[in-house]
Copies of this chain bind each other. A is one copy, B any other.
Amino acid sequence: MSTQSDLAETNRLEAFSDGVFAIAITLLVLELHAPKLEEGQRLWPVLLDEWPQFAAYLASFAILGIMWVNHHSMFRQIQRADRGLMFLNLLLLLWVTLLPFPTSLFAEHLEDRTSNGHVAAAVYSATLTLAAIAFSLIWWYVLRHHLVEHTMSKGEIRKSLLRYSVGTVIYAATIGFSFVSPQLTLVIVFLLALYYGFEQVRTRGGTA
């Protein structure tokens, strides 16, 4: 049974996480700069040439936005927060706050046909994979420590853990795919974010 004090605990953890997500998603814009034009140079084609910056911005915005929605859905099911949960949540937030850096790296090398393009894409995919692992660890932890609000059957538990594992494996696969095509990797992680936006692990009915 969830007491007043436990709820306050979860609320402050969620509020802190919301703050970090909101700041990370807004800081992404700092990687976009008004281009310095030379005398007589036209702005429009220069902006179009910056498309990798905008594409990487859009992908990271979508990924962080949907991670926030899913973090939110997950924590709605958690009734108590203990110190272990706080640390696993910090681990997740580590990758969330880091994301503007690989985003900038990826954007810089998105059109780079040398191995640098592959390395930048792999660093980006690896960050997402580490975030997916942190999500899985949180879910595994709350199930193991009975911090979930509702009772779940063994089948439901196994199914929910399986879905997180599959997600992690798919993200890990994008690291490998980075060495095939950085640009396709960006498309894939963007589509994956959209997919997770609509099909998240549900362990009970509800509006979100």
Interface of A toward B, CB cutoff 8 Å: 5-6, 8-9, 12, 14-16, 18-30, 32-34, 37, 42-44, 47, 57-58, 61-62, 65-66, 68-69, 72, 76, 80-83, 86-87, 90, 93-94, 97-101, 104-105, 107-109, 114-116, 119-120, 123, 197-198, 207-208
Copies in the complex: 4
- Residue of B18, B65, B87, B120 near A19 (CB, 8 A) is B18
Complex contact B208–A16 (CB within 8 A)? no
CA distance A65 to B16 in the complex (A): 10
Q: Could you name 5 residue pairs across A and B whose Cβ atoms are closer than 8 Å?
A: A29-B99, A33-B101, A34-B107, A42-B114, A57-B98
**With A29-B97, A42-B116, A119-B47 as given contacts, are A83 and B208 in contact (CB-CB < 8 Å)?**
yes
A65 — which chain B residues lie within 8 A by C-beta? 90, 93-94
Q: How far is the CB of A48 from chain B (nearest CB, A)?
A: 11
